[in-house]
Each structure stands twice: as structure tokens, then as C-alpha cells.
Amino acid sequence: MPEKSLEEKLRQLDRYLDKEKYLLLTMAQLKKDFILSGLDFDYHEAPENLYAFLQEQITLMLDNNIEALRNLLYRIDVNVENIFKNPSSNIVEKIVQEIIKRSLQKVIIREHYRE
């Protein structure tokens, strides 16, 4: 079977989150980006709880330190326009989804070129 192109891999992001290897690599990427943004990433739970942890962190930043959130989104390279496309949806959920999506994209790209 021919290997998938990078574009195909990026279009099918959700499938990669089901694979533990990619979930762990995405967590490591998030930790790196948080730390490089000057933020703590004190997360030692199961990968399945990552979404809830990120929701809590983003909520705290929205309430207390919007500049830290801006820096984090810039560091991760999140497309902020995607967050505000549908203003009626929960902003925290939208931010978390975009953070995870972009972090996973970075992992897939790195792994693709490592192969």
C-alpha cells in the first residue's frame, strides 16, 4: 500500500489522536510550547484527561492573564481566526480544540519527515 502524503495525514487529524504514540507526542509538544511560553505544564494524568486540563488552563488565562494566552497561541502558531469563526460556540472549547489540532499537526509533520 502506498504511503500517505503529508496532506492526507493532516486532513485526517482525528484518527491520529486515537493512537497512543501520537497522543503522547502531542502532549510532549504541548508541554514544550507551554514551557517556552513561560507557563507551567504540571500535568501527570492519563492522556485522556488532557482536554479537561487544557480547558482549565485556558479558562484561568482568559480570566487572569490574557497576555500569557496570546503568547501561548502565538508560540503554538494557532490560527486565531478559526477560534472566532463561530462566536456563538464556547470560546474555551474552541481555543483548546485549535491548540490540540495545531500541536498534533506539528507532531505529524515532524514524524512524516522523520520516516
In the chain, the number of structural domains is: 1
CA 4/CA 6 separation, integer angstroms? 7
pTM of the complete model: 0.82
Output phi, psi for 88, to 5 deg: -80, -15
Q: Which domain holds residue 42?
A: 6-114
pLDDT recorded at residue 9? 62
* pLDDT tens, per residue, the chain with 115 residues: 556 666 666 666 667 666 788 888 999 999 999 999 999 998 888 877 889 999 999 999 999 999 999 999 999 999 888 888 876 678 999 999 999 999 999 999 998 888 7
Instruction: Say if 11 falls within a structural domain.
Output: yes
Instruction: Say if 49 falls within a structural domain.
Output: yes
Instruction: Say if 1 falls within a structural domain.
Output: no
pLDDT recorded at residue 20? 80
